Amino acid sequence: MTDERTTLIDHGQLPTRNLAECLAVDQRTLVSALAGQLPDTLIEQLATCAEETCSQGLSKKITGIGLALGQWLEPAPAPQRQQVLEQCSAHSSDTVRSWAAFAQAHLSRTLDLEAALLAQLHFARDEHFGVREWAWIALRPRLAQALDDALALLARHAGDSNPLVRRFCIEVLRPRGVWCEHIAALKQAPEVAEPLLVPRLAEADKYAQDSVANWLNDASKTRPDWVIQLFERHPPSCKASRRIHARATRSLPQ
Protein backbone atom coordinates (compact mmCIF):
# COMPACT_ATOMS: atom_id res chain seq x y z
CA MET A 1 0.00 0.00 0.00
CA THR A 2 1.45 3.36 -1.01
CA ASP A 3 1.93 6.18 1.49
CA GLU A 4 -0.60 8.25 -0.45
CA ARG A 5 -3.22 5.52 -0.24
CA THR A 6 -2.56 5.01 3.48
CA THR A 7 -3.05 8.72 4.11
CA LEU A 8 -6.31 8.84 2.15
CA ILE A 9 -7.69 5.81 4.02
CA ASP A 10 -6.62 7.16 7.41
CA HIS A 11 -8.33 10.46 6.62
CA GLY A 12 -11.57 8.78 5.61
CA GLN A 13 -11.32 9.64 1.93
CA LEU A 14 -10.96 6.09 0.57
CA PRO A 15 -12.39 2.72 1.59
CA THR A 16 -10.13 -0.21 2.37
CA ARG A 17 -9.83 -2.99 -0.22
CA ASN A 18 -8.92 -6.02 1.91
CA LEU A 19 -8.41 -7.22 5.47
CA ALA A 20 -4.77 -6.11 5.55
CA GLU A 21 -5.83 -2.53 4.81
CA CYS A 22 -8.63 -2.75 7.40
CA LEU A 23 -6.10 -3.80 10.03
CA ALA A 24 -3.74 -0.99 9.07
CA VAL A 25 -6.21 1.88 9.54
CA ASP A 26 -5.01 4.40 12.15
CA GLN A 27 -8.32 5.01 13.86
CA ARG A 28 -6.95 7.87 15.97
CA THR A 29 -6.02 9.73 12.79
CA LEU A 30 -9.40 8.88 11.28
CA VAL A 31 -11.28 10.30 14.27
CA SER A 32 -9.20 13.49 14.09
CA ALA A 33 -9.97 13.79 10.38
CA LEU A 34 -13.69 13.89 11.20
CA ALA A 35 -13.31 17.13 13.15
CA GLY A 36 -15.48 19.72 11.45
CA GLN A 37 -17.77 17.01 10.08
CA LEU A 38 -19.14 15.80 13.43
CA PRO A 39 -19.95 17.66 16.68
CA ASP A 40 -16.93 18.58 18.81
CA THR A 41 -18.17 16.71 21.89
CA LEU A 42 -18.57 13.55 19.82
CA ILE A 43 -15.06 13.89 18.38
CA GLU A 44 -13.68 14.22 21.91
CA GLN A 45 -15.48 11.07 23.03
CA LEU A 46 -14.39 9.07 19.98
CA ALA A 47 -10.81 10.33 20.28
CA THR A 48 -10.62 9.16 23.90
CA CYS A 49 -11.85 5.72 22.91
CA ALA A 50 -9.53 5.52 19.89
CA GLU A 51 -6.58 6.31 22.15
CA GLU A 52 -7.63 3.73 24.75
CA THR A 53 -7.98 0.98 22.14
CA CYS A 54 -5.03 1.89 19.89
CA SER A 55 -2.91 -1.05 21.07
CA GLN A 56 -5.77 -3.57 20.86
CA GLY A 57 -6.98 -5.68 17.96
CA LEU A 58 -9.28 -4.51 15.20
CA SER A 59 -12.38 -6.04 16.77
CA LYS A 60 -11.84 -4.16 20.06
CA LYS A 61 -11.21 -0.92 18.17
CA ILE A 62 -14.33 -1.11 15.99
CA THR A 63 -16.53 -2.33 18.84
CA GLY A 64 -15.25 0.25 21.30
CA ILE A 65 -15.47 3.29 19.03
CA GLY A 66 -18.84 2.13 17.68
CA LEU A 67 -20.19 1.80 21.21
CA ALA A 68 -18.84 5.25 22.09
CA LEU A 69 -20.68 6.63 19.05
CA GLY A 70 -23.88 4.91 20.13
CA GLN A 71 -23.56 6.18 23.70
CA TRP A 72 -23.12 9.74 22.45
CA LEU A 73 -26.09 9.45 20.10
CA GLU A 74 -28.46 7.94 22.67
CA PRO A 75 -29.18 11.10 24.70
CA ALA A 76 -28.81 13.47 21.72
CA PRO A 77 -31.91 15.30 20.42
CA ALA A 78 -33.70 13.11 17.87
CA PRO A 79 -32.97 15.33 14.82
CA GLN A 80 -29.26 15.50 15.66
CA ARG A 81 -29.14 11.78 16.44
CA GLN A 82 -30.66 10.95 13.07
CA GLN A 83 -28.43 13.38 11.19
CA VAL A 84 -25.17 12.16 12.75
CA LEU A 85 -26.09 8.48 12.43
CA GLU A 86 -27.03 8.93 8.77
CA GLN A 87 -23.82 10.88 8.18
CA CYS A 88 -21.69 8.09 9.66
CA SER A 89 -23.73 5.35 7.97
CA ALA A 90 -23.10 6.89 4.54
CA HIS A 91 -19.48 7.99 5.10
CA SER A 92 -16.89 7.24 2.42
CA SER A 93 -14.80 5.42 5.04
CA ASP A 94 -15.90 1.82 5.57
CA THR A 95 -14.39 2.05 9.07
CA VAL A 96 -16.74 4.90 9.99
CA ARG A 97 -19.69 2.94 8.58
CA SER A 98 -18.56 -0.01 10.70
CA TRP A 99 -18.65 2.18 13.82
CA ALA A 100 -22.17 3.16 12.80
CA ALA A 101 -23.21 -0.50 12.62
CA PHE A 102 -22.28 -0.92 16.28
CA ALA A 103 -23.89 2.39 17.20
CA GLN A 104 -27.13 1.28 15.55
CA ALA A 105 -27.09 -2.03 17.42
CA HIS A 106 -26.62 -0.10 20.67
CA LEU A 107 -29.52 2.23 19.89
CA SER A 108 -31.70 -0.74 18.88
CA ARG A 109 -31.61 -2.17 22.40
CA THR A 110 -34.92 -0.43 23.08
CA LEU A 111 -36.55 -1.80 19.91
CA ASP A 112 -38.24 -5.17 19.53
CA LEU A 113 -36.20 -7.91 17.89
CA GLU A 114 -37.59 -7.50 14.38
CA ALA A 115 -37.17 -3.73 14.40
CA ALA A 116 -33.58 -4.17 15.56
CA LEU A 117 -32.95 -6.65 12.74
CA LEU A 118 -34.49 -4.40 10.10
CA ALA A 119 -32.38 -1.46 11.28
CA GLN A 120 -29.21 -3.57 11.04
CA LEU A 121 -30.00 -4.78 7.53
CA HIS A 122 -29.00 -1.35 6.20
CA PHE A 123 -25.41 -2.34 7.02
CA ALA A 124 -25.91 -5.91 5.82
CA ARG A 125 -26.54 -4.46 2.34
CA ASP A 126 -23.37 -2.35 2.38
CA GLU A 127 -21.07 -2.55 -0.64
CA HIS A 128 -18.04 -3.19 1.58
CA PHE A 129 -17.28 -6.68 2.90
CA GLY A 130 -16.03 -5.36 6.23
CA VAL A 131 -19.15 -3.35 7.05
CA ARG A 132 -21.28 -6.40 6.25
CA GLU A 133 -19.27 -8.48 8.73
CA TRP A 134 -19.46 -5.92 11.52
CA ALA A 135 -23.20 -5.60 10.89
CA TRP A 136 -23.93 -9.14 12.04
CA ILE A 137 -21.25 -9.19 14.73
CA ALA A 138 -22.89 -6.12 16.31
CA LEU A 139 -26.36 -7.69 16.47
CA ARG A 140 -25.32 -11.26 17.29
CA PRO A 141 -25.25 -10.94 21.13
CA ARG A 142 -28.84 -9.65 21.18
CA LEU A 143 -30.09 -12.47 18.95
CA ALA A 144 -28.12 -15.11 20.86
CA GLN A 145 -29.94 -14.14 24.06
CA ALA A 146 -33.31 -14.91 22.45
CA LEU A 147 -32.46 -17.86 20.22
CA ASP A 148 -35.93 -19.28 19.63
CA ASP A 149 -37.42 -15.92 18.66
CA ALA A 150 -34.31 -14.97 16.68
CA LEU A 151 -34.27 -18.18 14.64
CA ALA A 152 -37.95 -17.80 13.78
CA LEU A 153 -37.40 -14.17 12.81
CA LEU A 154 -34.35 -14.91 10.67
CA ALA A 155 -36.19 -17.74 8.92
CA ARG A 156 -38.83 -15.23 7.80
CA HIS A 157 -36.22 -12.90 6.31
CA ALA A 158 -33.74 -15.47 4.95
CA GLY A 159 -35.67 -15.73 1.69
CA ASP A 160 -35.18 -12.03 0.90
CA SER A 161 -34.55 -11.13 -2.74
CA ASN A 162 -31.19 -9.57 -1.78
CA PRO A 163 -28.47 -12.23 -1.37
CA LEU A 164 -26.64 -9.97 1.09
CA VAL A 165 -29.66 -10.09 3.39
CA ARG A 166 -29.93 -13.85 2.96
CA ARG A 167 -26.28 -14.21 3.89
CA PHE A 168 -26.68 -12.00 6.96
CA CYS A 169 -29.61 -14.09 8.20
CA ILE A 170 -27.47 -17.24 8.15
CA GLU A 171 -24.13 -15.77 9.20
CA VAL A 172 -25.37 -13.93 12.28
CA LEU A 173 -26.00 -17.08 14.33
CA ARG A 174 -23.22 -19.36 13.14
CA PRO A 175 -22.42 -21.70 16.05
CA ARG A 176 -18.70 -20.91 15.91
CA GLY A 177 -18.78 -17.45 14.35
CA VAL A 178 -15.52 -15.73 13.48
CA TRP A 179 -14.28 -12.94 15.79
CA CYS A 180 -17.11 -13.48 18.26
CA GLU A 181 -18.20 -15.78 21.06
CA HIS A 182 -19.47 -19.22 20.15
CA ILE A 183 -23.13 -20.07 20.79
CA ALA A 184 -23.05 -23.17 22.97
CA ALA A 185 -26.73 -24.01 22.48
CA LEU A 186 -26.30 -24.21 18.70
CA LYS A 187 -23.09 -26.23 18.97
CA GLN A 188 -24.97 -28.77 21.08
CA ALA A 189 -28.38 -28.73 19.37
CA PRO A 190 -27.99 -27.31 15.83
CA GLU A 191 -31.22 -29.03 14.77
CA VAL A 192 -33.23 -26.14 16.22
CA ALA A 193 -31.99 -24.07 13.26
CA GLU A 194 -33.34 -26.44 10.60
CA PRO A 195 -36.32 -24.19 9.71
CA LEU A 196 -33.76 -21.48 8.90
CA LEU A 197 -31.22 -23.68 7.13
CA VAL A 198 -33.16 -26.29 5.17
CA PRO A 199 -34.82 -23.80 2.76
CA ARG A 200 -31.34 -22.46 1.97
CA LEU A 201 -29.69 -25.79 1.12
CA ALA A 202 -30.07 -24.93 -2.57
CA GLU A 203 -29.14 -21.25 -2.19
CA ALA A 204 -28.31 -19.86 -5.64
CA ASP A 205 -25.89 -17.07 -4.69
CA LYS A 206 -22.32 -18.22 -3.96
CA TYR A 207 -21.70 -15.57 -1.30
CA ALA A 208 -24.79 -16.70 0.60
CA GLN A 209 -24.00 -20.36 -0.13
CA ASP A 210 -20.74 -19.96 1.75
CA SER A 211 -22.58 -18.87 4.89
CA VAL A 212 -24.90 -21.87 4.74
CA ALA A 213 -21.93 -24.20 4.25
CA ASN A 214 -19.89 -22.52 6.98
CA TRP A 215 -22.82 -22.74 9.42
CA LEU A 216 -23.05 -26.48 8.80
CA ASN A 217 -19.28 -26.91 8.92
CA ASP A 218 -19.32 -25.18 12.32
CA ALA A 219 -21.97 -27.62 13.51
CA SER A 220 -20.02 -30.60 12.19
CA LYS A 221 -17.25 -29.91 14.73
CA THR A 222 -19.56 -30.85 17.62
CA ARG A 223 -22.49 -32.62 15.95
CA PRO A 224 -21.16 -34.48 12.89
CA ASP A 225 -24.03 -36.95 13.24
CA TRP A 226 -26.60 -34.22 12.70
CA VAL A 227 -24.87 -32.82 9.60
CA ILE A 228 -24.62 -36.28 8.06
CA GLN A 229 -28.29 -37.01 8.82
CA LEU A 230 -29.36 -33.63 7.47
CA PHE A 231 -27.90 -34.39 4.06
CA GLU A 232 -29.33 -37.91 4.14
CA ARG A 233 -32.77 -36.36 4.58
CA HIS A 234 -32.07 -33.58 2.06
CA PRO A 235 -29.62 -35.03 -0.49
CA PRO A 236 -27.93 -32.56 -2.86
CA SER A 237 -29.83 -32.47 -6.14
CA CYS A 238 -28.43 -29.47 -8.03
CA LYS A 239 -25.14 -27.67 -8.61
CA ALA A 240 -25.78 -25.20 -5.78
CA SER A 241 -26.73 -27.84 -3.22
CA ARG A 242 -23.76 -30.01 -4.20
CA ARG A 243 -21.40 -27.08 -3.66
CA ILE A 244 -22.94 -26.39 -0.25
CA HIS A 245 -22.68 -30.07 0.66
CA ALA A 246 -19.01 -30.26 -0.33
CA ARG A 247 -18.10 -27.20 1.71
CA ALA A 248 -20.32 -28.09 4.65
CA THR A 249 -18.76 -31.52 5.09
CA ARG A 250 -15.13 -30.55 4.52
CA SER A 251 -14.22 -31.22 8.17
CA LEU A 252 -15.81 -34.66 8.24
CA PRO A 253 -13.86 -37.86 7.52
CA GLN A 254 -14.24 -38.68 3.84
Cα separation, 92 vs 102, whole angstroms: 17
Cα separation, 79 vs 96, whole angstroms: 20
Alpha helices in 53-188 (DSSP H): 58-73, 78-89, 94-107, 113-124, 129-144, 147-157, 163-171, 184-188
Cα separation, 120 vs 123, whole angstroms: 6
pLDDT by residue for the chain (254 residues), tens only, comes to 898 999 999 999 999 999 999 999 999 999 999 999 999 999 999 999 999 999 999 999 999 999 999 999 999 999 999 999 999 999 999 999 999 999 999 999 999 999 999 999 999 999 999 999 999 999 999 999 999 999 999 999 999 999 999 999 999 999 998 889 999 999 999 999 999 999 999 999 999 999 999 999 999 999 999 999 999 999 999 999 999 999 999 999 87
Residues in the chain: 254
Write down the pLDDT at residue 253.
86
Instruction: Determine contact, residues 234/203, Cβ cutoff 8 Å.
Output: no
Dihedral sign from CA coordinates of 74, 77, 81, 82: positive
